[in-house]
Amino acid sequence: MEDDALRLLAFVLFGILACLTKRKWKAYFADQVRQSWVTLLLHLQDPNPRVSVTWNAELRFTSGSRFWD
């Protein structure tokens, strides 16, 4: 069974990486996210509310940024 704290930290790390990714690696990072999109979206319904709220916030933050351009 996965650890809730580990999932929570993974999504926080995702947000940090999305912010700090340089142009050189942005396309690669975005492609990796797109390949895992379905799995990532399933975490919006995570049994732990802190995980789902954190992941929702990270998605909103990155979708509002220029990360996906």
Residue-range definition of the domain harbouring residue 29:
12-63
Tell me whether residue 59 is in a domain.
yes
d(CA 22, CA 51): 26
Tell me whether residue 7 is in a domain.
no
Tell me whether residue 38 is in a domain.
yes
Tell me whether residue 31 is in a domain.
yes
d(CA 34, CA 44): 16
Give tens-digit pLDDT for 5-45. 998 898 888 888 888 888 888 888 888 888 988 888 888 89
For residues 23, 34, 10, 48, the Cα torsion angle rounded to the nearest 10 degrees is 150
Tell me whether residue 69 is in a domain.
no
As for how many domains the chain has, the answer is: 1
pTM: 0.70
Give tens-digit pLDDT for 40-66. 888 889 899 998 998 888 888 777 655
